[in-house]
Structure 1
């Protein structure tokens, strides 16, 4: 699974994910920091990447467009660093790998992970 790390998360996530066997790239290595969320989503879908973010706008984009890709992983925590929540993120990624490759939103907080399959039904 290839992961695109959003600008609102540290580039340190790239190395952390890679150390756990995930191919990852930070948006700053691909596009401009002021690109729209829609542009980031377009790139991720075209290049078959899952988006890792703390931004709730990506779920809203998927709901509004009824698209199935790209999948989105949302981190919902006060501290967004790999040291704070990284183990929880890796465990959830491994558990939901198949669903994320087909199209899903995975929301992760310190207590649990919640998975929703895409596209959203009306």
Structure 2
């Protein structure tokens, strides 16, 4: 499993994920800071990576595209810091690893995680 961390999340996420045995790179080390969400999605799909974000636009891009990759994990919490929700995120990534490998949209909240398999239906 390889994670590409969106610009809207702290670069600290990379170390937290790496310490948990999950390969991760923050977008600042991969591409231009002005890259569009579509560019990040294209990069992740080409490299077999999962996008980690708290931006709902990535789910909308998946729904509009009808694609099965890349998988996206959305953090939905008031505090999106690794200290606040890191344990929940790592648990969800491990529990849903097979689905993420096949194509999924996962939403992680402090009290629960939800999953939708790709491609998403727009109707």
TM-score (norm 2): 0.97
Q: Does 1:9 align with 2:4?
A: no
> What is the aligned partner in structure 2 of residue 48 from structure 1?
48
Tell me, in whole angstroms, the C-alpha distance in 1 between the residues paired with 2:46 and 2:93: 21
Tell me, in whole angstroms, the C-alpha distance in 2 between the residues paired with 1:10 and 1:120: 28
How do 1:27-106 and structure 2 match up within 5 A?
27-106=27-106
- Secondary structure of the residue aligned to 1:24 is strand
Tell me, in whole angstroms, the C-alpha distance in 1 between the residues paired with 2:93 and 2:39: 24
- Secondary structure of the residue aligned to 2:107 is strand
TM-score (norm 1): 0.98
Tell me, in whole angstroms, the C-alpha distance in 1 between the residues paired with 2:36 and 2:92: 27
Tell me, in whole angstroms, the C-alpha distance in 2 between the residues paired with 1:78 and 1:111: 12
Tell me, in whole angstroms, the C-alpha distance in 2 between the residues paired with 1:117 and 1:107: 12
Give the C-alpha shift of residue 45 in structure 1.
0.2
CA RMSD of aligned residues (A): 0.6
- Secondary structure of the residue aligned to 1:94 is helix
Number of residue pairs matched by the alignment? 122
How do 1:14-25 and structure 2 match up within 5 A?
14-25=14-25
How do 1:109-120 and structure 2 match up within 5 A?
109-120=109-120
| Unmatched segments (≥5 aa) in structure 2 | none
Tell me, in whole angstroms, the C-alpha distance in 2 between the residues paired with 1:31 and 1:78: 27
Instruction: Please list every run of at least 4 consecutive aligned residues from structure 1 whose deviation after the TM superposition is greater than 6 angstroms.
Output: none
- Secondary structure of the residue aligned to 1:105 is strand
- Secondary structure of the residue aligned to 1:35 is coil
Tell me, in whole angstroms, the C-alpha distance in 2 between the residues paired with 1:120 and 1:4: 21
